[in-house]
Chain A
């Protein structure tokens, strides 16, 4: 089957919803400077204010406009999503595909390494690392990626092993094709659906982990992060501020994660022919 991502996404209701939500977050992230009425980092004397015409979602403890910070936080979240997505996928592909294609000892060593790494809880390690270096967004992307590529690499390896044995690949070899030609023309294009899935999956996990860590206070204070906002808001839970400080932030985070999950789900349906057939039957 030939997968047209756009068609598959727009045909599926979950896909459509996820895509719409992601577009909204993307729009906010891109146009935050124009949408925000205040500089998100600029403190003021009006602190812990309730929502008003001037401050739609009130202000925080140092007088920053919560609405503006919420808008700017989208950028940080999407950056983490994209960064972790790209970096993890890249690591998974290079390691997984090379293990499958080279095979032998190289493959065995890598597989044992993955077995070892997969039991290490990424979250705890990052907390430990953060105890020494308070990670900025790039360090965080790097840390999450190098600690979570194992699952993806296994998937890519398995898929490459099966692709390598495909009749069409054998056929290409019987035309006299060399390894390079086969990787570029046959393996990589056929890996793309699974790479896309790995990308979406790790992006989701990236967002989740970043928010979680920031919520625990592990984040560079200077970044505008939704997790960090929730971390701060929670300190004032005894006031009414959670209504306009905590809830909208939590919602924004949920929307982003749901968008990615929905997209991932829609693509999975498209890629698994059995699920796809079931859906076809439902339609008829």
Chain B
């Protein structure tokens, strides 16, 4: 990692490369790990994590190039004889696959004492005593010391493996998927155990895992490995709360946790190794020409390292000080919003809060009174046809947004007609293709149907198909499901999420339904009377709302409990528009709230426009 490569570096990898025959599994890895640090390497299986671990402990079967400096000594050049002093004495490993890592013919006590005996650190009695201590330390019941591996449960075997790794009191411990395949409680026990053991022995940890839970609890820093390359590297909490590389975000979206609220989403395609270009480019939704030709270097970017030609996930749409007034009414009052590539930003608020006006301002249906809109970093001044190829909108009421004079074919084809793309046959085949994609029939009879012959759900899918036919990067969905019943809504939402996974579409999802918003959005913005009162990651807003309005919205969100909801009372009749828009309904209102308008200010990853929250912090 360039910096930190001073004397304290315990292990340093320099341009490490591992080939299995002609297949390059690790590719120019540079990592530094200081004494007492913990680093996790996360990524999908097949990404090269185990190979990285094995190459450090000298057990890898492929050809190793580059340098592995351990206390200044290059391990790559080491002869097998010299390894003895290091392997297990200085560097130990908790192997993956608990079933095969233990010898079925020996009791666990024998197996734990074996490394002590082999490395001649004590005689057999001494070794047995120490092994007993270690097994005690890892909380294996004493009655199990003389059990054979097949008599142990998965969790117990994992404990034995940890004890084995600790046997010779190493400095660096490499843990390869230590928590995989364990049930939740056992996993928690083991994570807890590893945490305390590592702390008390001041071990340096290299954790190889795909389990973000283990990584987040056991490591201070995190490197994301994809197809043999590190794509993002930084402090664990930063990476988890704000992933910046598309792959990191993709991994987090796949990981079910109690913290995230959005539905699980996958990463399109599967892992493949490439010799040229960015290894992630075939699965990346924001890849451009250069991504195919040149591998990006891991570069410092805003406190972390990212290997991406585009500098990580790009901001696709930026609204800056955007305002719209209708005569004296300020429908949108200088809002700031950023929508990143491939993410869903839910804009939540009651009717009349300015959500739809915001959408129409972006689409150019309304002219902004003030403010700027940027698309992919470029300010939008006039909207030509190419703008509408990149930005499309789904309307609230599908029946209204489809002209009743146009058949399904004509309606879905209309954007192509307007944009003059392709000839007649090409347009028609594109229509059929997109209808397939939104799970509608593309038969002749369906193509010739008119909107009034469609169900609400079908009509909205036609609307979605029509918005997608130009293959936009940004989709503005204005209450796309509010006219639909719950089951149709579920299908439409699933469809939108799948399309996002496949095409990397960014979505501005406008809704009044907070319960729905949290299931589909990465980030949430709460709007009231034309201003954004709170903004942040969906999970945080849902679990710990800051603005009283958001709190009340959450209380009003649908649940299945039989409790009769309480209605937030109007605390005051005053509202002259000078103060906080929620002042007259807020139960924590103070005099200042009526007089001063609060601006959105940042609190960690979360922004809020409430003087109570900003004052107490």
Contacts and interface: CB of A to CB of B under 8 A. Distances in A.
B563 interface: no
A175 B388 contact: yes
Contacts, number: 62
A201 B263 CA distance: 59
A171 B419 CA distance: 13
A61 to B, nearest CB: 56
Contact of B401 (A1, A2, A168, A176): A168
Nearest to A166: B400
Given A2-B452, A175-B415, A181-B418, A170 B365 contact: yes
A169 B363 CA distance: 13
Interface stretch (B29-37, B188-196, B390-398, B586-594): B390-398
B390 to A, nearest CB: 11
A174 B403 CA distance: 14
Contacts of A186: 403
Nearest to B384: A176
Contacts of B396: 167
Contact of A175 (B395, B400, B403, B470): B470
B387 interface: yes
Contacts of A171: 393, 395, 401-402, 466
B404 A1 contact: yes
B7 interface: no
Contacts of A174: 363-365, 388, 392-393
Interface string A158-201: 00000000111111111111000100001001100000000000
B452 A1 contact: yes
B393 A176 contact: no
A227 to B, nearest CB: 41
A167 B384 contact: no
B378 interface: no
Interface of B: 360, 363-365, 383-385, 387-389, 392-393, 395-397, 400-405, 414-415, 418-419, 450, 452, 466, 470
B418 A172 contact: yes
Contact of B414 (A1, A172, A189): A172
Contact of B400 (A2, A168, A172, A190): A168
B393 A2 contact: no
Given A175-B470, A176-B383, 9 more contacts: A167-B395, A167-B397, A170-B395, A171-B466, A172-B418, A173-B364, A175-B392, A177-B418, A189-B405
B419 A175 contact: yes
B265 to A, nearest CB: 26
Chain A, interface residues (CB within 8 Å), range: 10 to 19
A183 B334 CA distance: 34
Nearest to B398: A167
A190 B405 contact: yes
B414 A175 contact: yes
Nearest to A173: B365
B405 A176 contact: no
B387 A176 contact: yes
Interface in A218-266: none
Which of B364, B395, B403, B466 counts the most chain A CB atoms within 10 A? Answer: B403
B400 A167 contact: yes
Contacts of B415: 175-176
B398 to A, nearest CB: 9
B402 A168 contact: yes
Nearest to B389: A176
Q: Which of A170, A175, A189, A190 has the most CB of B within 10 A?
A: A175
22 contacts: A1-B452, A2-B450, A166-B403, A168-B401, A168-B403, A169-B403, A170-B365, A171-B395, A171-B401, A173-B363, A173-B364, A174-B392, A175-B388, A175-B414, A175-B419, A175-B470, A176-B384, A176-B388, A176-B389, A176-B418, A181-B418, A190-B403
Contacts of A169: 403
A182 to B, nearest CB: 10
B122 to A, nearest CB: 78
Instruction: Report which residue of B384, B395, B470 has the largest number of chain A beta carbons within 10 angstroms of its beta carbon.
Output: B395
Interface of A: 1-2, 166-177, 181, 186, 189-190
10 nearest CB pairs, A to B: A176-B385, A176-B388, A168-B403, A175-B415, A167-B401, A167-B400, A175-B418, A177-B418, A171-B401, A174-B393
Nearest to B394: A171
Nearest to B478: A167
A70 to B, nearest CB: 43
A182 B415 CA distance: 12
A168 B397 CA distance: 10
Contacts of B402: 168, 171
Contacts of A177: 418
Contacts of B388: 174-176
Contacts of B393: 171, 174
A172 to B, nearest CB: 7
Nearest to B453: A2
A157 to B, nearest CB: 21
Residue among A169, A170, A171, A172 with max Cβ neighbours from chain B (10 Å):
A171
A176 B404 contact: no
A2 B449 CA distance: 12
Contacts of A181: 418
A159 B397 CA distance: 20
Among B360, B387, B388, B418, the one with the most A-chain Cβ atoms within 10 Å of its Cβ is: B418
A191 to B, nearest CB: 11
A34 to B, nearest CB: 42
A78 B278 CA distance: 78
Contacts of B392: 174-175
A2 B404 CA distance: 7
A172 B402 CA distance: 9
A177 to B, nearest CB: 5
Contacts of B387: 176
A167 B406 CA distance: 14
A190 B404 CA distance: 9
A167 B466 CA distance: 14
A243 B406 CA distance: 55
A270 to B, nearest CB: 14
Nearest to B386: A176
Contacts of A190: 403, 405
A184 to B, nearest CB: 12
A206 B338 CA distance: 62
Contact of A176 (B395, B403, B419, B452): B419
Nearest to A171: B401
A2 B450 CA distance: 9
A175 B418 CA distance: 7
A8 B44 CA distance: 64
B592 to A, nearest CB: 41
Contacts of B385: 176
A163 B41 CA distance: 59
Contacts of A167: 395-397, 400-401
A168 B402 CA distance: 5
Contacts of A173: 363-365
Contacts of A166: 400, 403
B464 to A, nearest CB: 12
B94 to A, nearest CB: 56
Contacts of B414: 172, 175
Contacts of A176: 383-385, 387-389, 415, 418-419
